[in-house]
C-alpha cells in the first residue's frame, strides 16, 4: 500500500492515525482464495433470481423498516421486531455499537488476536481498545478479560468461534463471565461463524439473549449464507440499545438487493441446501484440521469455516514465510505476523493443495 499524502484540508489527528482496514490481497495467479473466510459455493439460483427481480426496482430506496426480513428474524429469535437491527454487514453494527457506547476516554475490551477490525472500531469516537491476549489454547481468556474491566469500560466484544483462531466460548464460561460484568456494560457476542459450530458446549446467542439486557448478538449473511459481496448482517438486542446503534448509523445503507437476497436465503428450500453446504464445509474443516495435526502441527479447536496454524509452540516458525509459500503457489491465505496463519475452507480441490504446500514448507 502506498504512503498516504498529507490531506489538503484539516482532518482530525485521531482519524489520520487510524490504519485503514486491509482486505486480503487479490490473487495474482490462478489458485484458491482462502484469505477472507468466504463461502466457496456459488450463490443459490433462487437467491440470484431474487436479486435480479429486485434489481429491476433499483430506482427505489429499500424500505428502511425492512418489515419482512425483520419479521422473519424476530420470529426465529423469539423476540419482538424492535429487537432486530440491520447493517451493511455486521461490521457496520460493530462500529455503531462501539460508537454508541464508548467515547473519548472510554475503553472497550476485546480478545487478541481476534477479528482485525476490533482494535479500530473505537478510534474515530476517541475510545481506547484494550486487547486481552488469548490463552495458550488460542481461546478467549475470560478471567483476564473480566479482570481488565475498569470503571471506564463501556463495551466488551466476544467472538465465538474466534476469528482467526477457531475455538468457541463454552456456555458455562460465558455464564460465569457475564456474572462478573457490570449490568450497565454492553456485551457484544459476535457470532459471525455460528452456523459452522458443531461443539455442543458452545454458547449460543439465541439461548442467552433473553437472560441479559446488556447483550447484543451479531450475525451475518456473509459467511454461512454466502452473501459477503452484498453486505448484510444483523444484531439482536434490547430495543433501546438497537435504537442507539441505529441513531449513529448511516441511514439507508442496507440495499434492497441485499434484503431480497437475505429473504430468499431464509426460504425453507434455500435453507435446506445451505444447511447441507454448511455441513460439507464443517466436515472439510475437520478433515483439514485432522490432516494438519497428523503432520505434527498444533491446531486449536477449529469451529468456524477456517483453520489456524499458530506461529508458536508446535506450529510454524514464521507466519509470513508460510503465507509467502502459499502466495508463490497462487493460493492466498491470511498471515497474522507474530501470531499465525488462517486458512479459510474453500473448494474441495483446495484441500490437497493446502496440504501439499504445507508439507513442502515443513
Binding site for ligand PMP (CB under 6 A): 37, 89-91, 115, 159, 163, 190, 192, 220, 222, 228, 233
Nearest-approach distance from CB 175 to ligand PMP, in angstroms = 21
Bond preceding residue 249 cis, omega within 30 of 0: no
- Please answer whether residues 87 and 235 qualify as being in contact, where contact means their C-beta atoms are separated by less than 8 angstroms: yes
Task: Specify the long-range contacts of residues 296-300, CB closer than 8 Å, at least 24 apart.
Answer: 296/362, 297/358, 300/137, 300/138, 300/139, 300/165, 300/166, 300/167
Q: Output the smallest distance, CB 57 to ligand PMP, in A.
A: 24
Least distance in Å: CB of 358 to ligand PMP?
A: 23
CB of 95 or CB of 177, closer to ligand PMP? 95
Work out how close the CB of 159 gets to ligand PMP at its nearest, in angstroms, rounded to a whole number. Answer: 5
Question: Which residues are within 8 A (CB) of 286 and not within 5 positions of it... i.e. 6 or more apart?
Answer: 198, 302
Q: What are the Cα distances from residue 96, in Å, to 89, 136, 250?
A: 12, 32, 9
3-class state of residue 280 by DSSP: helix
> Which residue number has the CB closest to ligand PMP?
89
Residue closer to ligand PMP by CB (options 255, 291) is 255
Question: Nearest to residue 265, comparing CAs of 60, 94, 76?
Answer: 76
Residue closer to ligand PMP (CB basis): 91 or 341: 91
Distance CA 65, CA 213 (A): 23
Can you say how many angstroms the Cα of residue 119 is from the centroid of all Cα atoms in its chain? 14
Q: Quote the least distance from Cβ 87 to ligand PMP, whole Å.
A: 7
Determine contact, residues 256/69, Cβ cutoff 8 Å: no
| Of 229 and 337, CB closest to ligand PMP | 229
What does the DSSP assignment read for 32-97? -B-SS----SPPPHHHHHHHHHHHTTTTSPPPTT-HHHHHHHHHHHTS-GGGEEEESSHHHHHHHH
We find the least distance from the C-beta atom of residue 360 to ligand PMP, in angstroms, to be 28
Decide whether 241 or 291 has the Cβ nearer to ligand PMP.
Answer: 241
Residue placing its CB nearer to ligand PMP in the complex, 57 or 76: 76
For residue 267, the minimal CB distance to ligand PMP (Å) is 21
What are the residues facing 112 on neighbouring strands? Answer: 133
Judged by CB, which is closer to ligand PMP: 92, or 350?
92
Amino acid at each position: 500500500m502506498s504512503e498516504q499524502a498529507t490531506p489538503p484540508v484539516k482532518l482530525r489527528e485521531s482519524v489520520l492515525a487510524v490504519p485503514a482496514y486491509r482486505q486480503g490481497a487479490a490473487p495474482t495467479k490462478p489458485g484458491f482464495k482462502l484469505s477472507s473466510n468466504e463461502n466457496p459455493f456459488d450463490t443459490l439460483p433462487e437467491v440470484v433470481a431474487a436479486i435480479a427481480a429486485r434489481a429491476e426496482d433499483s430506482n427505489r430506496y429499500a424500505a428502511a423498516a425492512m418489515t419482512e426480513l425483520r419479521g422473519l428474524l424476530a420470529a426465529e429469535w423469539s423476540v419482538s421486531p424492535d429487537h432486530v437491527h440491520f447493517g451493511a454487514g455486521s461490521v457496520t453494527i460493530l462500529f455503531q455499537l462501539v460508537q454508541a457506547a464508548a467515547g473519548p476516554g472510554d475503553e472497550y475490551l476485546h480478545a487478541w488476536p481476534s477479528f482485525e477490525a476490533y482494535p479500530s472500531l473505537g478510534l474515530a469516537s476517541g475510545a481506547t481498545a484494550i486487547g486481552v491476549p488469548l490463552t495458550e489454547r488460542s481461546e478467549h481468556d475470560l478471567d483476564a478479560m473480566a479482570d481488565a474491566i475498569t470503571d471506564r469500560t463501556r463495551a466488551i466484544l466476544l467472538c465465538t468461534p474466534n476469528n482467526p483462531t477457531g475455538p468457541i466460548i463454552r456456555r458455562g464460561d460465558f455464564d460465569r463471565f457475564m456474572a462478573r460484568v457490570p449490568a450497565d456494560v454492553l456485551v457484544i457476542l459476535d457470532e459471525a461463524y455460528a452456523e459452522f459450530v458443531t461443539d455442543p458446549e458452545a454458547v449460543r446467542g439465541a439461548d442467552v439473549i433473553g437472560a441479559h439486557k446488556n447483550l447484543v448478538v451479531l450475525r451475518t449473511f456473509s459467511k454461512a449464507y454466502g452473501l459477503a459481496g452484498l453486505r448484510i448482517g444483523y444484531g439482536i438486542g434490547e430495543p433501546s440499545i438497537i435504537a442507539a446503534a441505529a441513531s449513529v448509523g448511516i441511514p439507508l445503507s442496507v440495499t434492497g438487493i441485499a434484503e431480497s437476497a437475505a429473504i430468499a436465503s431464509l426460504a425453507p428450500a434455500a435453507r435446506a441446501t445451505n444447511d447441507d453446504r454448511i455441513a460439507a464445509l464443517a466436515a472439510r474443516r475437520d478433515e483439514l484440521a485432522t490432516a494438519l495435526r497428523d503432520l505434527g502441527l498444533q491446531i486449536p479447536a477449529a469451529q468456524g469455516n477456517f483453520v489456524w496454524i499458530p506461529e508458536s509452540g508446535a506450529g510454524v516458525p514464521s507466519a509470513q514465510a508460510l503465507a509467502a509459500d502459499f502466495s508463490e503457489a497462487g493460493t492466498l491465505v491470511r498471515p497474522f505476523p507474530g501470531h499465525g496463519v488462517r486458512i479459510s475452507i474453500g473448494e474441495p480441490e483446495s484441500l490437497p493443495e493446502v496440504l501439499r504446500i504445507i508439507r513442502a514448507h515443513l
